[in-house]
Structure 1
Protein backbone atom coordinates (compact mmCIF):
# COMPACT_ATOMS: atom_id res chain seq x y z
CA UNK A 1 0.00 0.00 0.00
CA UNK A 2 1.47 3.34 -1.07
CA UNK A 3 0.80 6.75 0.47
CA UNK A 4 -0.23 9.91 -1.34
CA UNK A 5 -0.39 13.16 0.62
CA UNK A 6 -0.87 11.30 3.89
CA UNK A 7 -3.58 8.99 2.54
CA UNK A 8 -3.12 5.28 1.99
CA UNK A 9 -3.67 4.23 -1.62
CA UNK A 10 -4.40 0.60 -2.41
CA UNK A 11 -2.84 -1.17 -5.32
CA UNK A 12 -4.87 -3.85 -6.99
CA UNK A 13 -4.05 -6.94 -8.98
CA UNK A 14 -6.46 -8.57 -11.37
CA UNK A 15 -5.94 -11.68 -13.42
CA UNK A 16 -8.49 -11.42 -16.19
CA UNK A 17 -8.54 -14.29 -18.65
CA UNK A 18 -5.85 -13.34 -21.13
CA UNK A 19 -8.01 -14.35 -24.07
CA UNK A 20 -11.52 -13.76 -25.37
CA UNK A 21 -13.95 -16.60 -24.82
CA UNK A 22 -14.39 -18.84 -27.84
CA UNK A 23 -17.70 -18.29 -29.63
CA UNK A 24 -18.56 -21.94 -28.99
CA UNK A 25 -18.63 -21.47 -25.20
CA UNK A 26 -20.72 -18.28 -25.19
CA UNK A 27 -24.04 -20.16 -25.05
CA UNK A 28 -22.82 -22.10 -22.00
CA UNK A 29 -21.65 -18.87 -20.35
CA UNK A 30 -25.13 -17.46 -21.02
CA UNK A 31 -26.83 -20.49 -19.43
CA UNK A 32 -24.56 -20.23 -16.37
CA UNK A 33 -25.22 -16.48 -16.07
CA UNK A 34 -21.63 -15.43 -16.77
CA UNK A 35 -21.95 -14.07 -20.32
CA UNK A 36 -22.08 -10.41 -19.24
CA UNK A 37 -19.11 -10.82 -16.89
CA UNK A 38 -17.16 -12.56 -19.67
CA UNK A 39 -17.72 -9.56 -21.92
CA UNK A 40 -16.11 -7.16 -19.44
CA UNK A 41 -12.71 -6.59 -20.98
CA UNK A 42 -11.20 -3.81 -18.99
CA UNK A 43 -12.21 -1.18 -16.53
CA UNK A 44 -10.41 1.71 -14.96
CA UNK A 45 -10.04 1.12 -11.27
CA UNK A 46 -9.69 4.36 -9.35
CA UNK A 47 -7.43 3.30 -6.50
CA UNK A 48 -7.68 6.67 -4.75
CA UNK A 49 -11.49 6.46 -4.70
CA UNK A 50 -11.45 2.91 -3.35
CA UNK A 51 -8.83 3.90 -0.78
CA UNK A 52 -11.09 6.72 0.40
CA UNK A 53 -13.99 4.28 0.72
CA UNK A 54 -11.84 1.84 2.71
CA UNK A 55 -10.97 4.67 5.10
CA UNK A 56 -14.72 5.17 5.69
CA UNK A 57 -15.50 1.46 6.22
CA UNK A 58 -16.92 0.60 9.64
CA UNK A 59 -16.18 -3.04 10.52
CA UNK A 60 -18.76 -3.13 13.32
CA UNK A 61 -21.74 -2.23 11.10
CA UNK A 62 -20.29 -3.34 7.74
CA UNK A 63 -21.17 0.02 6.21
CA UNK A 64 -19.42 3.07 4.81
CA UNK A 65 -19.74 6.10 7.09
CA UNK A 66 -20.32 9.03 4.74
CA UNK A 67 -21.11 12.69 5.50
CA UNK A 68 -24.70 12.04 4.37
CA UNK A 69 -25.09 8.91 6.54
CA UNK A 70 -24.31 5.20 6.37
CA UNK A 71 -24.40 3.21 3.15
CA UNK A 72 -23.37 -0.24 2.04
CA UNK A 73 -22.96 -2.27 -1.12
CA UNK A 74 -25.56 -4.99 -1.32
CA UNK A 75 -25.62 -8.23 -3.21
CA UNK A 76 -28.34 -6.69 -5.37
CA UNK A 77 -25.95 -3.84 -6.29
CA UNK A 78 -23.31 -6.32 -7.42
CA UNK A 79 -25.89 -8.34 -9.33
CA UNK A 80 -27.07 -5.26 -11.20
CA UNK A 81 -23.54 -4.09 -12.04
CA UNK A 82 -22.24 -7.46 -13.25
CA UNK A 83 -25.45 -9.07 -14.45
CA UNK A 84 -24.97 -12.10 -12.20
CA UNK A 85 -27.89 -14.06 -10.79
CA UNK A 86 -28.18 -13.96 -7.04
CA UNK A 87 -31.25 -16.13 -6.61
CA UNK A 88 -31.48 -19.89 -6.43
CA UNK A 89 -29.68 -22.43 -4.31
CA UNK A 90 -27.10 -21.03 -1.90
CA UNK A 91 -23.56 -22.35 -2.20
CA UNK A 92 -21.62 -21.92 1.03
CA UNK A 93 -19.33 -23.71 3.37
CA UNK A 94 -16.58 -26.18 2.79
CA UNK A 95 -16.86 -29.49 1.09
CA UNK A 96 -14.59 -32.44 1.42
CA UNK A 97 -13.59 -33.86 -1.93
CA UNK A 98 -11.98 -37.24 -1.47
CA UNK A 99 -10.58 -37.44 -4.99
CA UNK A 100 -9.93 -33.89 -6.28
CA UNK A 101 -8.21 -35.12 -9.43
CA UNK A 102 -11.25 -37.28 -10.28
CA UNK A 103 -13.62 -34.35 -9.79
CA UNK A 104 -11.38 -32.04 -11.82
CA UNK A 105 -11.16 -34.65 -14.58
CA UNK A 106 -14.94 -35.09 -14.60
CA UNK A 107 -15.62 -31.34 -14.83
CA UNK A 108 -12.72 -30.28 -17.08
CA UNK A 109 -11.84 -33.45 -18.97
CA UNK A 110 -8.33 -33.42 -17.49
CA UNK A 111 -6.63 -32.57 -14.24
CA UNK A 112 -3.60 -30.47 -13.45
CA UNK A 113 -1.39 -33.45 -12.75
CA UNK A 114 -2.99 -36.20 -14.82
CA UNK A 115 -1.66 -39.51 -13.64
CA UNK A 116 -0.43 -38.17 -10.30
CA UNK A 117 -2.24 -39.02 -7.08
CA UNK A 118 -1.15 -35.90 -5.19
CA UNK A 119 -3.26 -33.37 -7.15
CA UNK A 120 -4.51 -30.63 -4.82
CA UNK A 121 -5.43 -27.63 -6.99
CA UNK A 122 -5.31 -25.99 -10.39
CA UNK A 123 -3.78 -22.65 -11.33
CA UNK A 124 -4.91 -19.86 -13.63
CA UNK A 125 -1.80 -20.45 -15.73
CA UNK A 126 -2.78 -24.11 -16.19
CA UNK A 127 -6.37 -23.18 -17.10
CA UNK A 128 -5.17 -20.68 -19.72
CA UNK A 129 -2.67 -23.12 -21.18
CA UNK A 130 -5.17 -25.97 -21.48
CA UNK A 131 -8.39 -24.20 -22.43
CA UNK A 132 -7.39 -21.12 -24.41
CA UNK A 133 -8.16 -22.60 -27.80
CA UNK A 134 -10.79 -25.09 -28.83
CA UNK A 135 -10.26 -27.25 -31.87
CA UNK A 136 -12.75 -26.88 -34.72
CA UNK A 137 -13.77 -30.49 -34.06
CA UNK A 138 -14.39 -30.04 -30.33
CA UNK A 139 -17.14 -32.21 -28.91
CA UNK A 140 -19.98 -30.76 -26.86
CA UNK A 141 -18.30 -32.16 -23.71
CA UNK A 142 -15.02 -30.38 -24.59
CA UNK A 143 -16.91 -27.12 -25.15
CA UNK A 144 -18.62 -27.50 -21.77
CA UNK A 145 -15.25 -28.17 -20.11
CA UNK A 146 -13.79 -25.05 -21.75
CA UNK A 147 -16.78 -23.01 -20.53
CA UNK A 148 -16.25 -24.28 -16.96
CA UNK A 149 -12.56 -23.42 -17.16
CA UNK A 150 -13.37 -19.91 -18.39
CA UNK A 151 -15.89 -19.40 -15.56
CA UNK A 152 -13.23 -20.52 -13.04
CA UNK A 153 -10.85 -17.94 -14.48
CA UNK A 154 -13.51 -15.25 -14.21
CA UNK A 155 -14.29 -16.12 -10.60
CA UNK A 156 -10.68 -16.35 -9.43
CA UNK A 157 -9.17 -13.67 -11.63
CA UNK A 158 -11.88 -11.06 -11.49
CA UNK A 159 -14.60 -11.57 -8.91
CA UNK A 160 -12.41 -12.88 -6.06
CA UNK A 161 -9.69 -10.31 -6.70
CA UNK A 162 -12.22 -7.50 -6.33
CA UNK A 163 -13.25 -8.67 -2.87
CA UNK A 164 -9.63 -9.05 -1.80
CA UNK A 165 -8.97 -5.46 -2.73
CA UNK A 166 -11.67 -4.18 -0.37
CA UNK A 167 -10.64 -6.48 2.46
CA UNK A 168 -6.90 -5.97 2.21
CA UNK A 169 -6.48 -3.16 4.73
Structure 2
Protein backbone atom coordinates (compact mmCIF):
# COMPACT_ATOMS: atom_id res chain seq x y z
CA UNK A 1 0.00 0.00 0.00
CA UNK A 2 1.32 3.49 -0.71
CA UNK A 3 2.25 6.04 1.93
CA UNK A 4 -0.66 8.25 2.93
CA UNK A 5 -0.60 11.64 4.64
CA UNK A 6 -3.30 11.75 7.31
CA UNK A 7 -4.29 13.88 10.27
CA UNK A 8 -4.37 12.26 13.70
CA UNK A 9 -8.18 12.19 13.52
CA UNK A 10 -8.15 10.44 10.11
CA UNK A 11 -5.47 7.97 11.24
CA UNK A 12 -7.52 7.25 14.36
CA UNK A 13 -10.64 6.67 12.28
CA UNK A 14 -8.80 4.25 9.95
CA UNK A 15 -7.35 2.28 12.90
CA UNK A 16 -10.53 2.59 14.99
CA UNK A 17 -8.79 4.42 17.83
CA UNK A 18 -9.02 7.92 19.28
CA UNK A 19 -7.02 10.81 17.78
CA UNK A 20 -4.93 10.95 20.99
CA UNK A 21 -4.10 7.24 20.65
CA UNK A 22 -3.21 7.80 16.98
CA UNK A 23 -0.88 10.65 17.98
CA UNK A 24 0.77 8.45 20.62
CA UNK A 25 1.17 5.62 18.10
CA UNK A 26 2.77 7.98 15.58
CA UNK A 27 5.23 9.21 18.21
CA UNK A 28 6.12 5.67 19.35
CA UNK A 29 6.72 4.50 15.77
CA UNK A 30 8.66 7.65 14.89
CA UNK A 31 6.45 8.38 11.88
CA UNK A 32 7.34 11.53 9.91
CA UNK A 33 5.12 14.48 10.83
CA UNK A 34 4.49 17.87 9.28
CA UNK A 35 2.02 20.74 9.54
CA UNK A 36 -0.75 21.49 7.09
CA UNK A 37 -1.58 24.99 5.87
CA UNK A 38 -4.35 25.26 8.45
CA UNK A 39 -1.91 24.31 11.30
CA UNK A 40 -3.05 20.72 11.80
CA UNK A 41 -0.50 17.94 12.21
CA UNK A 42 -0.12 15.49 9.33
CA UNK A 43 1.46 12.05 9.59
CA UNK A 44 3.04 10.11 6.72
CA UNK A 45 2.07 6.47 7.21
CA UNK A 46 1.94 3.22 5.26
CA UNK A 47 -1.10 1.51 6.76
CA UNK A 48 0.04 -1.88 5.44
CA UNK A 49 3.06 -1.73 7.77
CA UNK A 50 1.03 -0.86 10.83
CA UNK A 51 -0.64 -3.90 12.30
CA UNK A 52 -2.52 -2.38 15.17
CA UNK A 53 -5.45 -4.05 16.88
CA UNK A 54 -6.93 -1.99 19.67
CA UNK A 55 -8.19 -3.71 22.80
CA UNK A 56 -11.59 -2.88 24.19
CA UNK A 57 -11.02 -0.08 26.73
CA UNK A 58 -13.58 -1.20 29.32
CA UNK A 59 -12.25 -4.71 29.82
CA UNK A 60 -8.60 -3.69 29.92
CA UNK A 61 -9.14 -0.93 32.48
CA UNK A 62 -11.24 -3.06 34.83
CA UNK A 63 -8.73 -5.90 34.74
CA UNK A 64 -5.82 -3.54 35.22
CA UNK A 65 -7.50 -1.89 38.20
CA UNK A 66 -8.09 -5.22 39.94
CA UNK A 67 -4.50 -6.29 39.24
CA UNK A 68 -3.11 -3.00 40.48
CA UNK A 69 -5.21 -3.18 43.65
CA UNK A 70 -3.95 -6.71 44.31
CA UNK A 71 -0.35 -5.63 43.66
CA UNK A 72 -0.72 -2.65 46.01
CA UNK A 73 -2.06 -4.90 48.77
CA UNK A 74 0.81 -7.34 48.24
CA UNK A 75 3.38 -4.56 48.31
CA UNK A 76 1.89 -3.06 51.47
CA UNK A 77 2.08 -6.45 53.20
CA UNK A 78 5.68 -6.82 52.04
CA UNK A 79 6.52 -3.32 53.33
CA UNK A 80 5.03 -4.19 56.73
CA UNK A 81 7.15 -7.37 56.88
CA UNK A 82 10.29 -5.44 55.91
CA UNK A 83 9.59 -2.76 58.52
CA UNK A 84 9.17 -5.45 61.21
CA UNK A 85 12.39 -7.12 60.12
CA UNK A 86 14.19 -3.75 60.11
CA UNK A 87 12.94 -3.04 63.65
CA UNK A 88 14.34 -6.39 64.78
CA UNK A 89 17.68 -5.65 63.15
CA UNK A 90 17.72 -2.21 64.78
CA UNK A 91 17.14 -3.78 68.22
CA UNK A 92 20.01 -6.23 67.57
CA UNK A 93 22.21 -3.36 66.48
CA UNK A 94 21.45 -1.34 69.62
CA UNK A 95 22.14 -4.37 71.85
CA UNK A 96 25.48 -5.04 70.14
CA UNK A 97 26.42 -1.37 70.31
CA UNK A 98 25.82 -1.28 74.07
CA UNK A 99 27.84 -4.47 74.44
CA UNK A 100 30.70 -3.00 72.40
CA UNK A 101 30.64 0.15 74.54
CA UNK A 102 30.88 -1.94 77.73
CA UNK A 103 33.74 -4.00 76.29
CA UNK A 104 35.56 -0.84 75.22
CA UNK A 105 35.27 0.56 78.75
CA UNK A 106 36.69 -2.71 80.12
CA UNK A 107 39.58 -2.61 77.63
CA UNK A 108 40.38 1.00 78.56
CA UNK A 109 40.29 0.09 82.27
CA UNK A 110 42.57 -2.91 81.69
CA UNK A 111 44.95 -0.75 79.66
CA UNK A 112 45.13 1.82 82.45
CA UNK A 113 45.77 -0.90 85.04
CA UNK A 114 48.44 -2.48 82.85
CA UNK A 115 50.18 0.87 82.39
CA UNK A 116 50.10 1.51 86.15
CA UNK A 117 51.47 -1.99 86.83
CA UNK A 118 54.29 -1.47 84.32
CA UNK A 119 55.19 1.84 85.93
CA UNK A 120 55.18 0.25 89.39
CA UNK A 121 57.30 -2.63 88.09
CA UNK A 122 59.82 -0.25 86.56
CA UNK A 123 60.01 1.76 89.79
CA UNK A 124 60.44 -1.39 91.91
CA UNK A 125 63.07 -2.77 89.55
CA UNK A 126 64.95 0.52 89.87
CA UNK A 127 64.84 0.28 93.65
CA UNK A 128 66.04 -3.33 93.59
CA UNK A 129 68.90 -2.37 91.26
CA UNK A 130 69.85 0.49 93.58
CA UNK A 131 69.88 -1.91 96.57
CA UNK A 132 72.07 -4.39 94.70
CA UNK A 133 74.53 -1.62 93.86
CA UNK A 134 74.56 -0.48 97.48
CA UNK A 135 75.17 -4.03 98.73
CA UNK A 136 78.05 -4.51 96.28
CA UNK A 137 79.61 -1.13 97.13
CA UNK A 138 80.18 -2.06 100.72
CA UNK A 139 78.51 -2.74 103.97
CA UNK A 140 79.51 0.09 106.29
CA UNK A 141 77.16 0.96 109.15
CA UNK A 142 76.04 4.17 107.47
CA UNK A 143 75.45 2.41 104.18
CA UNK A 144 73.75 -0.47 106.04
CA UNK A 145 71.21 1.86 107.66
CA UNK A 146 70.44 3.48 104.35
CA UNK A 147 70.05 0.07 102.70
CA UNK A 148 67.75 -1.10 105.48
CA UNK A 149 65.52 1.92 104.96
CA UNK A 150 65.48 1.24 101.25
CA UNK A 151 64.60 -2.43 101.83
CA UNK A 152 61.77 -1.36 104.13
CA UNK A 153 60.55 1.10 101.53
CA UNK A 154 60.78 -1.60 98.85
CA UNK A 155 58.81 -4.04 101.01
CA UNK A 156 56.11 -1.42 101.62
CA UNK A 157 55.93 -0.69 97.87
CA UNK A 158 55.58 -4.40 97.12
CA UNK A 159 52.79 -4.78 99.66
CA UNK A 160 50.98 -1.73 98.26
CA UNK A 161 51.35 -2.97 94.67
CA UNK A 162 50.10 -6.42 95.74
CA UNK A 163 47.02 -4.86 97.38
CA UNK A 164 46.25 -2.82 94.27
CA UNK A 165 46.62 -5.88 92.07
CA UNK A 166 44.33 -7.90 94.35
CA UNK A 167 41.69 -5.18 94.05
CA UNK A 168 41.55 -4.20 97.69
TM-score band by shorter chain is under 0.3
Greater RCO, 1 or 2 (C-alpha within 8 Å, sep 6+): 1
Higher helix content, 1 or 2: 2
Kindly name which structure, 1 or 2, has the bigger radius of gyration based on alpha carbons: 2
TM-score calculated relative to the size of structure 1 = 0.24
